[in-house]
């Protein structure tokens, strides 16, 4: 009879560590892919709004800047208003001001989020679903441009009722508005 010698070692703990490391690596790779996709989307989405931001200091009475405000407001109205909803644009000339009002029957903004209106990168839909594309810069740019013209941007909104955005500009900007509407 020959002698048999054997060594037995429990590697259960080593296998568990390896499994944990593989899971961590997979999670890190998914996060890296998500980050890359996010940065690619943000890079694309930011190009146009950033061009408007860069132009703030150029020509404050430039009709193109006011047109950008209207484009941003109307874009939001169309984006957040359902198919059978309504969008109205009104211009009212008062004693001291010129009001441009964009009203819609869209999804609205919850009252608890109204303090965030006009803040950069703010979106009022569920960030996880990303049901509505965009960067959250539209109202921020519109507000900033209105203020650069000596005006203001006010928002009145109710969920499932709609949103009314009022751009109030000093009446001295009326000439610029006429140029905008003419051209």
Whole-number Cα distances in Å, 11 to 19, 100, 160? 12, 73, 60
Which of 181, 148, 165, 174 has the alpha carbon at shortest distance from 95?
Answer: 174
Name the 3-class secondary structure at 101: strand
- At 58 the pLDDT is 41
DSSP 169: E
Q: Which of 6-15, 55-64, 77-86, 143-152 has the lowest mean pLDDT?
A: 55-64
Distance from C-alpha of 147 to C-alpha of 157, rounded to nearest angstrom = 21
Q: pLDDT tens, 6-55? A: 788 888 898 998 999 898 888 888 887 777 776 666 555 555 444 444 44
> Is 42-182 assigned to CATH 3.30.565.10?
yes
CB neighbour burial string for 148-168, b if at least 16 within 10 angstroms, e if fewer: ebebebeeebeeeebbbbbbb
Q: For a pLDDT cut of 70, what percent of the chain falls above it?
A: 68
Cα angle vertex 75, ends 129, 120, to 5°? 65
> What global pTM score does this model have?
0.56
For the chain, what is the total number of helices (H) and then of strands (E)? 4, 4
Nearest partner of 165 among 154, 173, 174, judged by Cα = 154
* Least confident residue range of 3-7, 38-42, 110-114: 38-42
């Amino acid at each position: 009879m020959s002698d048999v010698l054997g060594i037995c070692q429990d590697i259960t703990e080593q296998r568990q560590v390896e499994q944990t490391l593989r899971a961590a690596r997979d999670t890190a790779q998914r996060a890296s892919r998500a980050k890359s996709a996010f940065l690619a989307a943000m890079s694309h989405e930011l190009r146009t709004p950033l061009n408007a931001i860069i132009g703030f200091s150029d020509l404050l009475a430039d009709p193109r800047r006011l047109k950008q405000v209207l484009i941003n407001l109307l874009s939001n109205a169309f984006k957040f208003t359902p198919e059978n909803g309504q969008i109205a644009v009104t211009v009212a000339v008062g004693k001291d001001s010129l009001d441009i009002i964009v009203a819609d029957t869209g999804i609205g903004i919850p009252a608890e989020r109204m303090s965030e209106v006009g803040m950069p990168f703010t979106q009022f839909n569920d960030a996880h679903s990303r049901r509505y594309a965009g960067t959250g810069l539209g109202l921020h740019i519109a507000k900033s441009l209105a203020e650069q013209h000596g005006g203001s941007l006010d928002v009145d909104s109710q969920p499932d009722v709609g949103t009314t955005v009022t751009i109030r500009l000093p009446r001295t900007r009326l000439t610029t508005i006429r140029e905008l509407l003419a051209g």
